[in-house]
Amino acid sequence: MVAPARPQFVLFGSSIVQLSFGHGGWGAHLSDIYARKADILLRGYYGWNSRRALQVLDQVFPKDAATQPSLVIVYFGGNDSMGPHFSGLGPHVPLHEYIENMRKILIHIQGLSERTRIIVLSCPPVNEEKVRGNTSGVLSELVRTNELCQSYSEACIKLCKELDVKVVDLFNALQKRDDWRNACFTDGIHLAAEGSKIVVKEILNVLKEADWEPCLHWKSLSTEFAEDSPYDLVAADGKTTLNPSEWTFYREIQWD
C-alpha cells in the first residue's frame, strides 16, 4: 500500500472496463479527473460474463480486506446478452440467470462496508452493421443485436432500482447522439473516445447528484498535499508563488 491512503474507486467488469484506459477511455479520464484525490483501480476482464465474475468475486472483493473501496463501478451484460452458440459454449447467459448473478454481485459489494458505494453501467447498444461486418476465420459468428442489448439493459436497471443501487442507462445515453453508431465505437462494440466521454459525463452526474456522505464527486474530495509552498512556480510579480494543485486548464474537457 502506497501512503498516504486515498479513496479507492474500483472499475469491475468485462472488456469495456479492461479497455477503458485506451482510445481516450473513460477509465483514463477518471484517473485524470481524480488525480491526487482518489486511486482508480482497474479490474477489467476481456470477454467475461456474469458467471465468470461470480467465480472470482471473493478474490477481487474479499470481505476481510483491511481497506475496502469507496466506490465500485460495475459493468457486465454485453457478453451475457450475446446470442447462444449451438454448442453450449461461449459467453451467453440467459436473462433470468444474468439478473440473479448481478444480484449476487451487487449484494456482495454492498456488504463490503457501510461506505462502499456502487454505480452500475447497463448494457450499451451496438452498431449491428459493423458487428456483422467483423467476420473472422478465428471466431464463430457473433450474435449481437440491439434487441438483446436493450432487454438486458432494462432488466439490469430494474434490478438496480430494486436494490437501491445507482445505475447509468448506457443503452439510451449513447443513442442521444445522432451519429452514435459510428462515433461511439471502435469496432461496433467497444467504446471509442466519444463514447467514453459520454460514460464519464454520466458517471459524474451520478456522483454529483447522489445523496452520499461523504460526497465522492471530484470537486468535493480534497487534493493531496495541496498546501502552498515557496517551491511552487514563481508568479509574475516575482514575490509570490502560484499553487498549481487545483489547475485543470490543461484538460481537453472541463468536466463539471
The domain of 91 spans: 8-227
> What's the mean pLDDT in 118-143?
86
- Three-state SS string over the chain comes to CCCCCCCEEEEEECHHHHCCCCCCCHHHHHHHHCCCCCEEEEEECCCCCHHHHHHHHHHHCCCCCCCCCCEEEEECCCCCCCCCCCCCCCCCCCHHHHHHHHHHHHHHHHCCCCCCEEEEECCCCCCHHHHHHCCCCCCCCCCCCHHHHHHHHHHHHHHHHHHCCEEECHHHHHHHCCCHHHHCECCCCCECHHHHHHHHHHHHHHHHHCCCCCCCCHHHCCCCCCCCCCCCEECCCCCCEECCCCCCCCCCCCCC
**Is 157 inside a domain boundary?**
yes
Q: Write down the pLDDT at residue 242.
A: 97
- Looking up residue 90, the CATH number of its domain turns out to be 3.40.50.1110
Active site residue 217: no
**Is 240 inside a domain boundary?**
no
pLDDT-derived band at 145 (thresholds 50, 70, 90) equals very high
Active site residue 237: no
pLDDT 10s digits, 225-247: 999 999 999 999 999 999 999 99
**Is 191 inside a domain boundary?**
yes
Active site residue 23: no
Catalytic residue among 58, 187, 228, 256: 187
Residues of the chain with pLDDT > 70, as a percent, come to 98
pLDDT 10s digits, 63-92: 999 999 999 999 999 999 999 888 889 899
Q: Write down the pLDDT at residue 1.
A: 64
**Is 238 inside a domain boundary?**
no
**Is 144 inside a domain boundary?**
yes
**Is 252 inside a domain boundary?**
no
Catalytic residue among 15, 29, 169, 190: 190
Give the lowest-confidence range in 73-77, 111-115, 143-147.
143-147
**Is 63 inside a domain boundary?**
yes
